[in-house]
Structures are given as structure tokens and as C-alpha cells.
Structure 1
Amino acid sequence: MGLGVRGLQFTPSRSVCAPKARRMLRTPRVSTGLCPLPVPSPVPASFSSQGVFPPSFPRDAAAGSLLAAAAAHPAEGPGCSRASPPPAHAGAELLPLRSPTLGALEFSLLYDQDNSSLHCTLIKAKGLKPMDSNGLADPYVKLHLLPGASKSNKLRTKTLRNTRNPVWNETLVYHGITDEDMQRKTLRISVCDEDKFGHNEFIGETRVALKKLKANQKKNFNICLERVIPVDRGGDVEERGKILVSLMYSTQQGGLIVGIVRCVHLAAMDANGYSDPFVKLWLKPDMGKKAKHKTQIKKKTLNPEFNEEFFYDIKHSDLAKKSLDISVWDYDIGKSNDYIGGCQLGITAKGERLKHWYECLKNKDKKIERWHTLQNENHVASD
């Protein structure tokens, strides 16, 4: 005689057999949309008589216990791991769900410490989600350093047409990457489908914390793409780009030589998505008109190259009392120039800015180059 568990239906003709010695009870699975959870089978009558459950333990209670245990320890199924996810709590960041249906991306990363650059080689993708009516896609890859100015530090590959298995073998390079950036920044790598007649569509992405990389050692990745919920980074300092500055105190000329080499990833200030940048220098305090210099204007670019040097006639001993304000501006005809970002070097500065100034004072007649992050700090109006 078969016994049924209350609330569950079974085919009457199916016989219930005692399990074999080395096997667990077979349990039908119910789809929940996540990982499959088992539902308990009817408990054979022989179980109670064989001492599996005490005679006083009701069979319905036994089935309920099995169901509770099954919920606490779900069976392993395709795409599911044995480890249960951590409990959610208020304010917890949702983790992305990797999905093989979106495709996989193969790429490599290399941090060139000597040249302050990050090389990302996009090799290929496989099994991308079809995005077009022909069952294919027109994929390209887009890079974005987080946190950072959203438009200015994005790089992208070429678009490959009508394929779900694109091979790019294309290297994109970020310049002005410092050791500090490598400790706190994340590289977002997105795969998108280009649409000639509409808005480009997002396929999937992956994110790599740069602190996982070792300097001057290439690291290869082959990762399933995922869909990620945007993370609020409102507490981060707003970055407006980077500037490469050289400092040298010349004993022969008796003064400080400041070089403005280049800027990268500047914030776009104009409607065309670019800026017309120039750089201002101000050595203060108490330097008068001789304290200010500015570079030439570079048109329609977010990555200008200046390669200009400026001389300050000042005693070496006086530099310990000075600060150098560096500000980048967007030139506008007929109206006030827009402030892009700036930084200050000197004894009152901190971190890399203080270190750069100190190395200049310590090493006379030696040119010291350093990248510095531009921030939306307090500033005076442009001349």
C-alpha cells in the first residue's frame, strides 16, 4: 500500500520501492526560477518499521522535515553551486549574475609601470547573445575606468559585423595610470551591439579591480559576460582628467622650470563632446605678475599635448614656502572660460603632489615627471 504526503500529488500507479543501500531517496525537482529545489517523495512504510523514523514520529511530520531540510540545502543543478548565497541585508550591493547565454570574453591586461600606462588587449568573444533579426550581432567592446569622468576616459574597439564570435585582437591603451590608480580603480569592459538605425544595445560586461594586477606582468582573462546593476559612487571625489607635469630646479639658471607635457581624459565642456583646453600656472604667494603663466590653446580635444616649459626666477630655499597651482580650462570665444579641473603642488599638498614637490627640491638639476589627477576644486576666474 503506497502512502502519500499531504499536499503533494503522485501518480497512483507508480510503485514506491525501498532505496538501495548506497543511494539517497529520489526526489522530483520543481523549478523556482533560480536553482532547482527538491520536493520529498512519499516515505515508504518500511522506513518507520526499520527504525529510520521512530514509531512515534508522524510520517507527515517526517515529510515536512525533509522539505525544510531540502529548502535549507538545495540540490545542485546546472549553473548552481553547492554554496548557498550570503543573506541579503539592507544596503547590501547586489552581486551580478554571470550568464553563459550572454557569451564569454577573452582579453588580457598589462600595467606598464615605467610608462604609466594600462594596456587592454581584446582578443575575442564567443557565443554572444544574438541581437539582430538575422540571429547575429554587430559587436564592439567599450572600456571605462571607474571612478572617472564618464565620457572622457572611454575607449572602444572597432565594430565587427554579423557575428556572435568576433575576433578583435585589438589593444587599447590608457595613459597616465599611476600606482595609486591601480589600487583604487576598476576597469569596466562592456560588449555592445552597434545599431546603424537606432540606439546601440548593451550585451554584457565584466569588471576587473586593477589591484589584482602585478606591475609589468600580463594577466589573461576568459570570463562569462554579466549584467550588472549600476553602483552609486556619489561619495567619490569627482575626477576631471589627468595632467603630466615635470619639475626641475636648475642651479645653472637659478630657478624652477615647470613643464606641462600633456593631459588625458579631460572632461568634455562643449556641446560637441570635446573641449578647447589650455593650462594655467600660478606660483604663490607673493610672486606678483611673474607668478602666472599659461599654455597655448588646443582645439577640440580631450587629450591635448602641450610640451611647453615655463621658468620661475626663484631661490631654491624659497621653494619650500611656495605652492604651485595648476588649472586646466576650456576656452570659449566671447564668454567666460570653463574650469575643467586642477591640482596644487607644494609643501602644503598631500600624497603624490607633496612627493613630487619634495623630489624636485631634493634632486637639483634633475627633471622629475609625474601624473596628477585633476579635480573640481576651488579656483579663481580665468584671465
Structure 2
Amino acid sequence: MSVSKPPQPHSHFAPGSSSHLALPASSSNSSLSPPSAAAPPSMPAPPSPVKISMQEHFAINVCPGPILPIPQISDFFPRFHDFPCSPPAPREKQPLRDKEKDGVKDGGEVDKERERDKDENGGDERDLMDSDDETYLGTLEFSLLFDQENNCLHCTILRAKGLKAMDSNGLADPYVKLHLLPGASKANKLRTKTLKNTLNPVWNETLVYHGITAADMTTKTLRLCVCDMDRLGRNEFIGEVRVALKKLKEGESKKYNMGLERIAQNKEGNNQTMEQGAPVVEEERGRILVSLCYITEKSSLAVGIIRCAHLAAMDSNGYSDPFVKIVLQPDMGKKSKYKTSVKKKTLNPEFNEEFLYEVPHDQLAKKTLEISVWDYDLGMSNDFIGGVELGINAKGQQLRHWFECLKYKGKKVEYWHTLTQQGAPSSD
């Protein structure tokens, strides 16, 4: 079909007449005819091919059709929760008279629907699904036991249930951190192992705080944080619970099953800055567990350095490299000075080392045992952390420990002592 259009003839019509263009016939001698020469209305005109220009061809059917909705990216991915796509319409408040009329009927139907939902969804699951996703973080199950005889607090982390998904696969890599408040964060920090790809982890792991006294149980609070381990980035906080230790009875194992809560990190940061700016309390320097035993057969005093707990951090990384020095005064030369090994990057070192002093029993009343804890620094002077003195001139717990050692020969007596800055040696 030709797409060319015959040229338009010059207008020979009168001004009052209409210029109507008739389509050509199928014959080869196609020409324009005036309106008067058209076929009569009774006889239909035979079909003829339409010849139009290229411009008119592209101008036909340019009006777009109905606008289709653009597909959303959420249409191509499954939803984690069966929430409605659009928020439910707000409930219309009925007048008081309507409520009074339909109160019995509507109330009974509502109660039946609630019972039916609880039976189908398993109790309170419907309430959890209706609540905000941020409010339900999971539950943590653990048990606590205070051993006053050994000054230990045993924390058994059992399991967690229904944790919030933190990774892109809908799971998490959870672990639990423990802190004793108030106090330095790293000095009393304990941590469980990390379990991979689970929202219902089972640890069954027992963590022990050493050097906990009955006085600490009345003032301390145990904080348990559940976090998500992330190798490529920063570990994420899931939730936490806090337990006041004053409610825990001595020798009684108490089991807890508590829901995790999200507490603003800014408040914790403000509390920590206030504690750091406050004057240092003597107990925050740390504690040391010492054993004394006078061996009659060897005429020697056995001094055991067992462990330290909650030491003050002396390095920039928040830890210390502690070791212990012991000196029996008055000075007896080289035989009166001993040092333990250095424990790297820890605030709760365990030494389990014992030293012997050959001294007659009748001279112990005139002796004083100086114990000091230091932070080892390579190429620099060591930093003094804290110390304690045991002897006849001491007071309180230190005097009681020394007196029992002299009284009960051959018996190993262990005591926890608080490190202080008083009587710090002038040099290492």
C-alpha cells in the first residue's frame, strides 16, 4: 500500500460551501469529485484503500491506555510475619446507649473470640504478634548460687527462647555477657560461648565470680546482656535483664526466667562517665585471695597467692598485666622477696603459686607480710595497682588472718583481702 497522499487541489468552491474531501475509488483514474457527484444515499460506496501520509500514520492511536500499578519490591520477597498489608481501620466509637443495649451480646462474643484465638495460637502468642516487634526480644533462663564460705557467686546460664532475629538469614549468633554493677566494666565482665545460627540457644554454662562477700550481695546488681556476634562489624545488643543480689539467699540456688528488655545505651554511658569521674573507692582497686600456713616440720611459713579479682585497669586497652610481690618485713635480704609470674591482659588473674619463708614460730609475731599487686610494663616502670599488709599491727580482716595462722599450726587458712593504695612502695 502506498503511503503517499495525492496533492490537495486548489480551492474552487464558493466561500459559503464546505470543502469536503472524498476518498478515491478503486479505479486507476481516481479524482476528486464535488459533493454533488457522490453516490446516492441508497447505494453504499464500495470499500477503497485508504492512503495517508507518514505523519498522519504516527499520529493515530497515540493516546496511552490505562496506567498500570508499578510492582513493589516487596511483591517479589516473602514476608516474615503475616501482618496485613494495610493498617486496620480505626474502630468507631459507639454511643453509650448502644453499648448498654448490646453489651451482653457483644461482650460474650468478644470473650468467645479471644478464647478461640488462644486455643488456636497457643495461649499468649496472639498478644505477642499484636504487639510491636521491638517490644518482644525473647526470654533468658538462668540460675544463681552464692557460696559464702568460698566467697563465690555461681551464675549458670541455661538457655534463651524466642530471641529477636538480628542477621539477614532470620537468625542470630547469641552470647551472654555478665557485669556486676556498680563497678568497672572489664574488671567484672564474664562471657559465655557463642552459638551460631539460632534463636533458641542452649548454653548450660556456669560462670563464677570470685571474691564476692556478703557485703557485696547487699549492694551489687547482676546485669546479664544477650548480644549477637558479628565478625564483620560491631556486635549487636539484643536485650538485657538485671537482678538485685540482695534478694538471693546464701547457699540457695534460685532459678530465673525473665523477659529481655531494651535499655537506652545513653543512660548507661552517662552512669559510667559519672562513675569514672567519681573518686576511686578502695574496693575498686581489686581483691586478692591469700593462704597462710605455718609448717612446724620445716619451721617455715607457706604463703600462697591463689588469685586476684576485679583489679583496676592500668593499660590503655582497659586491662592489666598483673603480678604479685611479697616481702616479709623486717627485711631478711634476698630470701624475703618473691615475685609471681606475669599474667597477660587480665583483671582476674589466677596464680596458684606458693612461697616458703624459713622463720621460727616465735619470731612471726614481730614480722609483717607486705603483699602488693603490680602491672608489668615492658621498658617502663611497673604500675602499682594495690597492696595489703598482714601482721600483728594490722587491723580487721588482716589481723584476724594473721592471728589464725599463728594459732592453728599446720592448717591452711585462706582469706580475701581488699587492695588499697595505702602504704604503696616508693619504687618497684
Map 1:1-383; keep pairs closer than 5 Å.
14=95, 16=97, 101-228=136-263, 229-230=267-268, 231=271, 232-233=274-275, 234=278, 236-237=281-282, 239-254=284-299, 256-270=301-315, 275-284=320-329, 286-287=330-331, 289=333, 292-302=336-346, 303-311=349-357, 313=359, 315-316=361-362, 319=365, 322-383=367-428
Is the CA contact 2:186–2:319 (under 8 Å) kept in the aligned structure 1? Answer: no
Task: Judging by fraction of residues, say which structure has more strand.
Answer: 1
Shift of 1:323: 3.9
Identity of aligned residues (%): 58
Shift of 1:203: 1.8
Q: d(CA) in 2 for partners of 1:192 and 1:107?
A: 16
Shift of 1:190: 0.9
Shift of 1:106: 0.6
User: Which residue in the other structure is 1:63 paired with?
Assistant: none
Q: d(CA) in 2 for partners of 1:335 and 1:195?
A: 36
TM-superposition CA deviations, 1:108-137 (whole Å, max 9, x none):
112234443322111111222333334432
Is the alpha carbon distance of 1:178 and 1:132 closer, same or farther for their aligned partners in structure 2, counting shifts above 3 Å? same
Is the CA contact 2:323–2:343 (under 8 Å) kept in the aligned structure 1? Answer: no
1:239 is paired with a residue whose SS is helix
TM-score (norm. length: structure 2): 0.59
Q: CA RMSD in A?
A: 3.6
Gaps of 5+ in 2: 1-91, 105-126, 129-133
1:262 partner letter:
R
Is the CA contact 1:242–1:266 (under 8 Å) kept in the aligned structure 2? Answer: yes
Q: d(CA) in 2 for partners of 1:272 and 1:12?
A: 61
Is the CA contact 1:290–1:312 (under 8 Å) kept in the aligned structure 2? Answer: no
2:185 is paired with a residue whose SS is coil
Is the alpha carbon distance of 1:14 and 1:208 closer, same or farther for their aligned partners in structure 2, counting shifts above 3 Å? closer
TM-superposition CA deviations, 1:299-350 (whole Å, max 9, x none):
425323142223162554762x654321111222322112222223345544
Q: Which has the higher contact order (CA 8 A, sep 6+)?
A: 1
Is the alpha carbon distance of 1:260 and 1:312 closer, same or farther for their aligned partners in structure 2, counting shifts above 3 Å? farther
Q: d(CA) in 1 for partners of 2:196 and 2:94?
A: 57
Task: Judging by fraction of residues, say which structure has more helix.
Answer: 2
Q: d(CA) in 1 for partners of 2:303 and 2:350?
A: 17
Is the CA contact 2:287–2:416 (under 8 Å) kept in the aligned structure 1? Answer: yes
Gaps of 5+ in 1: 1-10, 24-77, 80-98
1:368 partner letter:
V
Which is higher, the Rg of structure 1 or of structure 2? Answer: 2
